């Protein structure tokens, strides 16, 4: 399975970035063998639209699932429209979060868990 996970760095030992649209990096991981592509997020500093742009970027990579800490309404809508399963509440080291997901410790979410513009200073979920 090909997934994308938000990360603070470009390797499996990085931390899961709690932000989707403004994460530092997306790791596009093949869960069978943990091979991955690190994709720097060009949308980190956008004033608006980061969630949508980041969701389109991830969708272009052919992933079926996204693992992240939080996902706002615009990103959630865009990912859902692309048929991508969204998993929120991930934290810790990327490698560990992937293993936890593979072990069934995370479930998909049907709605965003934070408000718009969460990643630019506003903290707290819905």
Q: 19-42 burial by CB neighbour count: b if 16+ within 10 A, else e?
A: bbbbbbbbbbbebeeeebebbebe
Structurally, at CATH architecture level, domain 2-102 sits in 2-Layer Sandwich (3.30)
| Structure confidence by residue, pLDDT tens digits, 11-57 | 999 999 999 999 999 999 999 999 999 999 999 988 789 999 999 99
Residue ranges of E strands in 80-120 = 85-87
pTM of the model: 0.89
């Amino acid at each position: 399975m090909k997934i994308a996970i938000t990360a603070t760095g470009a390797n499996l030992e990085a931390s899961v970035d709690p932000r989707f649209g403004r994460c530092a990096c997306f790791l596009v991981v093949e869960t069978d063998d943990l091979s991955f592509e690190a994709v720097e997020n060009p949308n980190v500093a956008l004033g608006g639209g980061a969630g949508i742009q980041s969701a389109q970027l991830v969708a272009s990579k052919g992933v079926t699932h996204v693992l992240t800490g939080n996902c706002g309404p615009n990103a959630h809508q865009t990912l859902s429209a692309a048929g991508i399963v969204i998993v929120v509440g991930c934290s810790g080291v990327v490698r560990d979060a992937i293993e936890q997901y593979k072990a069934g410790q995370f479930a998909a979410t049907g709605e965003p868990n934070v408000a718009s513009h969460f990643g630019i200073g506003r903290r707290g979920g819905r």
